[in-house]
Amino acid sequence: MFTLPDMPQDRALLELADRFSESEATSLRAFLAFLHVSAETYEAYNVHFARYGLSDGRFSLLIFLLTERERVPTPSDCAERLGVTRATVTGLLDGLEREGLIRREPRPGDGRMLAVRLTEQGQKLLEGMLPDHFRRITACTSHLTEIEKMLLISLVVRLRSGLPALSER
């Protein structure tokens, strides 16, 4: 049987399911397992990014700038792409700019707007870390077959579709 540390035992989940008609033991167990693994993943991810002086948000922003080739994005574009507020992106950009990893400049053709560009230093940081980053992700998922990896993607997408049930009023 699959178990995670600090997770309620099946007996406790069954008792909760019996006590509250709205619950179902397998759903509780699956969701708790997902939460535990998510928390452990974020913890490991943060340790990994700290090696490079980055956070998940800073890394995501740098990767967006590295891969955005069709146009030079604005801070608003960055916020939209990352799914965060403009204020959050401003904080990320401020720190990355202080470290010389990005620069903000007037956008070509519309000087009233800012464009965000990856600097040479930012490019070098990513080129130096990405091989290690990809190696670690591959190692993390190496215990899964290709079919299991595709199934995991499918299950996570399906689980995501139920997230509004947690936040709706």
Tens digit of each residue's pLDDT (9 = 90 or more) over 122-137: 999 999 999 999 999 9
Q: Please tell me the total number of residues recorded for the chain in this structure.
A: 169
Cβ density class 41-75: b for 16+ within 10 Å, e for less: eeeebeebbeebebeebbbbbbebbeebeeebbbb
Give CA torsion, residues 32, 33, 35, 37, to 10 deg: 160
| DSSP structure class, residue 102 | E
**CATH class of the domain comprising 55-138:** mainly alpha
* pLDDT at 2 exceeding the cut of 60: no
- Average pLDDT, whole number, for the chain? 89
How high is the pLDDT of residue 110? 73
Q: Where do we find the tokens 């619950």?
A: 23
Task: Please name every residue paired with 106 in a beta bridge, in sequence order, or none if there are none.
Answer: 114
pLDDT tens for each residue of 66-82: 998 778 899 999 999 99
How high is the pLDDT of residue 7? 57
The closest alpha carbon to 32, from 13, 18, 16, belongs to: 13
pLDDT tens for each residue of 18-56: 777 777 777 888 888 899 999 999 999 999 999 999 999
Boundaries of every domain in the chain? 55-138
